[in-house]
Chains A and B, each alone.
Chain A
């Protein structure tokens, strides 16, 4: 059985690398790896190709896909209606002479889209350019600006209520996604605020923000847009979310995707401009193709690994590792593996790690939260570098990617890595955050 599982793992790695050499995308390379492993398992073990398991696997993260698409659709409609431009213009208009408050509010603006959708790329694509324009007007140089946008976007992906790494790992470990808001909020807020103030706290040229200059760089908000129109959809979202928790037995179970769609309906009803809903939805689906694709494909791969025993072998090797080794290396291993495998890393590495931490008497919620904030740091690393590339492209950054942009991110990354490692080590003492 062990020999068969090792063989399956070898085939998965070989097929993945071969597909990458043939210039297939990461998602299709994983699909090729799943098919190769399934063929080998079918021929050697069961005598039939396990197509049922591949199809079954595509459903593993179906609920996460629905949340992802509906949340991003909601944020895309908010942007299309002019809500994002309105908020940023109001912040600049009111706090142009207060650098501290301005940066604080801009950090929250960057955090909201990613926190609601679970995707840092959504933060970059919806508000990144606008926040970047304000930072430029505040005298922040191009490299630090791109780094600040990337770091806050990465932290937004980790911020609650939606953290896809934690959701996928929790789903794989049969653990309810409950109690994560506290530890995730503390770590992602600390990380985002430190990154923003470290990178944009000091101006490299004019220290005072020029109100006219900043406003001139921002798109106009449509006529008729006001705070009520912007905030009401978010109130509906928060209200439906809260109602389900306040009256768990007297309120219907609506679920996050439906809550996002109802909030999206509110945006559509309140928008002062006519929204081309179908175009926004098809653009949303196109932008999300790599992320939704990887979740569907990873589900199939995990199912084949579980069927053949290879998943058990990975778990076995992880759970016999000494804790000190893990504490000393996870802050490197997790971001690097994220750069290679993207969200696939959560079920592959996260599930056995969470079982190990639970077995050793650590608090699994705090430990998984710490890991889930470490993972997005790798989103600027090769070969995928999804959010890093998105930030650089959206801001038209012309500097060198690794020696300038990634280097500028190193100190904030180190700060976040230290915080997360401390959360891992002292997870038991920090369990009060997981309520």
Chain B
């Protein structure tokens, strides 16, 4: 496989990971909105931190 093609595929994979992280973050946020248990809500919010920062390319 040529280098240029490998680089392109790896870039697609990287963006695929951002998309996957966004998808999981949306599912977490959806459940955060729906839960009525305050402890669960806090835990969802904490779990969301790395997902949001990764999607925003902050970390």
Contact = CB atoms under 8 A, between A and B. Distances in A.
Interface stretch (A21-29, A93-101, A227-235): A21-29
B50 A257 contact: no
- Say what secondary structure dominates the interface of chain A: helix
A28 B42 contact: yes
B59 A59 contact: yes
Contact of B53 (A55, A65, A253): A55
Contact of B20 (A59, A66, A297): A66
Interface string A42-62: 000000000000011011001
A257 B17 contact: yes
B43 A25 contact: yes
Contact of A293 (B10, B30, B43): B43
A300 to B, nearest CB: 8
Interface string B9-43: 11001001100110110011011000000011011
Contacts of B49: 55, 58, 296
A281 B23 contact: yes
Given A24-B39, A293-B46, A252 B10 contact: yes
A250 B6 CA distance: 8
A62 B20 contact: no
Interface residues of A, number: 34
Given A59-B59, A258-B17, A282-B27, A250 B1 contact: yes
A285 B39 contact: no
Query: Top 3 closest A-B pairs, CB basis?
Result: A252-B9, A285-B27, A293-B43
Given A284-B27, A289-B40, 20 more contacts: A24-B39, A25-B43, A28-B39, A55-B49, A55-B50, A59-B53, A65-B47, A66-B24, A69-B24, A251-B1, A252-B9, A252-B13, A254-B13, A261-B16, A281-B27, A282-B27, A289-B43, A289-B47, A292-B47, A293-B46
Interface of A: 24-25, 27-28, 31, 55-56, 58-59, 62, 65-66, 69-70, 250-255, 257-258, 261, 278, 281-282, 284-286, 289, 292-293, 296-297
Interface of B: 1, 6, 9-10, 13, 16-17, 20-21, 23-24, 27-28, 30-31, 39-40, 42-44, 46-47, 49-50, 53-54, 59
